[in-house]
């Protein structure tokens, strides 16, 4: 019985107090006054709210500057300025993908993220440097946090010959998801770009996650092409469009309905400075929605700390979520929404689920989001992996 | 010499390390290796960055729910829903303006705000309850934090007869600033509303701060009326327009120029869910810009913790400030900008200034904003008034 843990007196999703019994890394029972089996460990929940592990559904572990000397940002305003600058800076600043992804993944774990989907750059300057580095991190942290790699053509797929072959190699080497990027604005060939991305997905039997920064009608056009391919290939539930700023433009209700029907999911960071997908509308239409912190302290910008509870607050602020039920939606997006797009089996607070939990002191779910207490206990498969922001493994 | 304090090794605004000698509550000297006069207290700055006291230039101390049981928000979506709900809830929830303003002001002080401009509701349901309560807080906290009251007709000025007389009484009783609110959208009589507001300002010799939520062309029209009155009455430098969402609409460059010429200042919370005044454009045009947290955990919404460093981060996120010089602008808005609109004498990090300081561990000013360390030492006129988020006086 020594893998049994009884957590006394927590409030699952802010509901009535209950005990949680964990056996073999899974939730065996949730209920009032559960008995502690002989030999079981007992943890006092102190009335904290229990939520399932936070899901960081969109970040870039390979290129954070965490732990490096401060990078003074003097980059130009265009998207391509940031992309080109970053590719140059990787060697100049020694942004080693393995070391840096270790740092960020552990920091995220400290805040309670037990699952991370990371886009990882694949380009002809750096080849498989990123994929290999983050894959090594995935292995080293396997018992602490679940990391999934998206092979991501950050510098363009068709415009930089040789990238497609590298993407193919990255997927063969174990990247779990096929990435894509702005089929019109960056690759200048929407049909060609998307046929290549979905072609890789078919070849490797893997899902798709496409960065779509394109605004307004251009972005809506690319979205239509993605929907067509999702339908034609029977990939409902296996395609995510990240950012989807076009959905923040007026008159996108019909497109949102089409997204829902096609089973395409949306990732929004709820960027305060861009038009963003309206999460209340998406929820009403039945579109699976997740969120992520995107780049954290990198050459693109200095913001971010890896905390998905803070991200839930930003989702709320950006979408003007004020009612308690609305604020809670933000946290569901940062937990259950991410679990849906990562197709996590056994996710949630129910018997039989993996015991991936975060315990946070709060009066209600809404107060949990706005207070963002650091006094968190994080469990991964029933084992305490972080306490008060500090993970059990030190970062390099 | 026992009112002399030598702070060793801080970095004013992130610059080279220096010592700061404080005498009689003011900065007497800033320089390398200053001698400690006999009898002087010595504080180790530990290389932290020193900034002048943060300025909370727009909040509502009288109506926070801090310290009360969690309020489950189920309020309707319109502005008037929130205004009417709040007026009813004040008695129902016992939102006592004195107790609540003590709580919020001390929490803000813990984060480093040494100066607070608070709008305080004046209406025919509650009369002077708010003004008297916050004025009592202003007196009790006089040695810790400087509080300024704006008499604020939250429920409308002309549409609720009797309010104008109460505003007059509030100003006579010591409110320092004349407030106003949406001359078109709420009071339905822009000329009448603004003539009344500026009339009170003339009668009492006090400055003006008007909430202007009105969007687009309607808000621009109200803004023009405010500019006309500011010019006609010679009130340049004594008029603030708060929120000014209309400046987030397209084609407002000419209006921004007119605002600059008239000497009207702008307060922006950088709301992530509304069009907002573009702070880079305002800075370029020479418009004095300040910021504030607005309502903190009240019946309008659950967000906010009173931290003006976090607000600087939100100003940065909302305005897409990524370069270090841009992120620093956000913090200048939350310090010097607020000091300008409150017309604080002796504000800043220079000899002769009041020793209102915040010491924060950070590598650079930009990292100070994004990291938001809680390890802050707050001084008011040379005396430590908060440490690590905890003020020297306990809240009721």
**Predicted confidence (pLDDT) per residue in A181-232, tens digit:** 999 999 999 999 999 999 999 999 999 999 999 999 999 999 999 999 999 9
CB pair distance less than 8 Å for B370 and A303: yes
* Domain at B54-341, CATH class: alpha beta
Task: Give phi and psi for B201, each to the nearest 5.
Answer: -60, -40
User: Could you tell me the pTM of the whole model?
Assistant: 0.97
Distance between CA A150 and CA A59 in Å, rounded? 10
What count of CB pairs under 8 Å joins A to B? 91
CA A60 to chain centre: 9
Q: What is the mean pLDDT of residues A39-68?
A: 97
Give the pLDDT score at A206: 98
CB pair distance less than 8 Å for A272 and B367: no
Distance between CA A29 and CA B110 in Å, rounded? 43
Distance between CA B209 and CA B285 in Å, rounded? 20
Give the pLDDT score at B2: 67
Q: What is the mean pLDDT of residues A263-283?
A: 98
Centre a 10 Å sphere on the Cβ of residue B347 and count the other Cβ atoms it contains.
Answer: 21
Q: What is the mean pLDDT of residues A54-77?
A: 96
Look at residues A237, A281, A305, A356 and name the one whose alpha carbon lies nearest to residue A66.
Answer: A305
CB pair distance less than 8 Å for A366 and B323: no
Measured between CA atoms, the residue of chain B closest to residue A362 is B70
B58 to chain A nearest CA, in Å?
Answer: 18
Matching residue, tokens 């006609």:
B232
Look at residues A340, A387, A337 and name the one whose alpha carbon lies nearest to residue A360.
Answer: A387
Chain A residues closer than 8 Å to B302 by CB: 322, 324, 327, 366-367, 369-370
- Nearest by CB: A370 against B69, B302, B320: B302
CB pair distance less than 8 Å for A302 and B73: no
- Nearest by CB: A323 against B73, B317, B367: B73
What share of chain A in percent tops pLDDT 90? 95
Measured between CA atoms, the residue of chain A closest to residue B364 is A70
Instruction: Show which residues on chain A lie within 8 Å of chain B, measured between beta carbons.
Output: 69-70, 72-75, 270-274, 297, 300-305, 313-314, 316-320, 322-325, 327, 363-364, 366-367, 369-371
Give the pLDDT score at A77: 85
Report residue A311 as tokens: 């991200």
Chain A residues closer than 8 Å to B363 by CB: 69-70
Architecture of domain B5-52+348-386: Roll (2.30)
Distance between CA A184 and CA A214 in Å, rounded? 8
Centre a 10 Å sphere on the Cβ of residue B123 and count the other Cβ atoms it contains.
Answer: 22
The maximal CA–CA distance of chain A, rounded, in angstroms, is 65
- Nearest by CB: B70 against A316, A323, A364: A364
In this structure, what is the dihedral angle of CA atoms B367, B369, B371, B375, given to the nearest 10 degrees? Answer: 110
pLDDT surpasses 60 at A134: yes
Global ipTM: 0.96
B293 to chain A nearest CA, in Å?
Answer: 13
pLDDT surpasses 90 at A76: no
Per the DSSP assignment, residues forming a β-bridge with B354 are B26
Distance between CA A252 and CA A258 in Å, rounded? 10
Chosen for mutation from A72, A281, A301 (greatest number of chain B CBs closer than 10 Å) is A301
- Nearest by CB: B322 against A301, A314, A327: A301
The maximal CA–CA distance of chain B, rounded, in angstroms, is 65
Buried b (16+ CB within 10 A) or exposed e, A228-262: ebbbeeebebbbbbbbbbbbbeeebeebbebbbeb
Give the pLDDT score at B72: 96
Report residue B285 as tokens: 């045009």
Return the domain boundaries, chain B: 5-52+348-386, 54-341
Give the pLDDT score at A2: 67
With bands split at pLDDT 50, 70 and 90, how would you rate the model's confidence at A3?
confident
CB A307 within 8 A of CB A301: no
pLDDT in tens, A18-27: 999 999 999 9
Architecture of domain A5-52+347-386: Roll (2.30)
DSSP at A294? B
Mean pLDDT of all residues belonging to chain A: 97
CB B9 within 8 A of CB B47: yes
Distance between CA B187 and CA B155 in Å, rounded? 9
- Nearest by CB: B367 against A70, A304, A366: A70
With bands split at pLDDT 50, 70 and 90, how would you rate the model's confidence at A1?
very low
CB A141 within 8 A of CB A147: yes
What residue ranges of chain B have pLDDT lower than 70? 1-2
Chain A residues closer than 8 Å to B366 by CB: 70, 72-73, 302
CB A114 within 8 A of CB A54: yes
Give the pLDDT score at B78: 87
């Amino acid at each position: 019985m020594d893998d049994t843990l009884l957590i006394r007196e927590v409030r699952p999703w802010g509901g009535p107090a209950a005990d949680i019994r964990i056996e073999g890394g899974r939730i065996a029972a949730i209920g009032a006054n559960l008995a502690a089996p002989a030999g079981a460990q007992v943890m006092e929940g102190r009335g904290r709210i229990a939520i399932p592990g936070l899901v960081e559904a969109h970040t870039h572990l390979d290129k954070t500057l965490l732990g490096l000397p401060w990078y003074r940002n003097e980059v130009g305003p265009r998207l391509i300025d940031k992309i080109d600058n970053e590719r140059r800076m990787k060697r100049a600043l020694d942004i080693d993908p393995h070391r840096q992804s270790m740092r960020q993944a552990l920091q995220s774990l400290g805040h309670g993220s037990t699952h991370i989907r990371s886009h990882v750059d694949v380009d002809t300057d750096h080849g498989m440097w990123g994929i290999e580095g983050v894959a090594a991190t995935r292995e080293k942290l396997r018992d602490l946090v679940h990391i999934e790699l998206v092979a991501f053509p950050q510098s363009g797929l068709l415009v930089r010959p040789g990238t497609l072959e590298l993407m193919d190699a990255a997927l063969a080497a174990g990247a779990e998801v096929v990435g894509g990027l702005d089929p019109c604005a960056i690759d200048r060939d929407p049909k060609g770009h998307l046929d290549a991305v979905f072609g890789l997905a078919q070849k490797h039997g893997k899902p798709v996650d496409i960065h779509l920064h394109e605004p307004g009608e251009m972005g809506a056009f690319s979205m239509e092409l993605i929907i067509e391919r999702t339908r034609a290939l029977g990939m409902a539930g296996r395609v995510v469009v990240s950012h989807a700023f076009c959905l923040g433009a007026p008159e996108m209700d019909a497109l949102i309905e089409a997204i829902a029907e096609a089973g395409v999911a949306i990732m929004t960071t709820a960027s305060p400075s861009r038009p963003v997908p309206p999460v209340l509308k998406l929820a009403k239409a039945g579109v699976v929605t997740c969120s992520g912190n995107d780049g954290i302290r990198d050459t693109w910008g200095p913001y971010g700390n890896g905390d998905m509870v803070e991200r839930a607050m930003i989702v709320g602020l950006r979408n003007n979520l004020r009612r308690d039920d609305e604020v809670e939606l933000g946290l569901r997006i940062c937990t259950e929404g991410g679990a849906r797009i990562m197709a996590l089996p056994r996710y949630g607070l129910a018997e039989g689920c993996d015991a991936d939990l975060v315990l946070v002191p709060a009066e209600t779910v809404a107060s949990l989001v706005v207070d963002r207490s650091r006094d968190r206990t994080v469990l991964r498969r029933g084992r305490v992996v972080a306490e008060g922001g500090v993970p059990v493994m030190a970062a390099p």
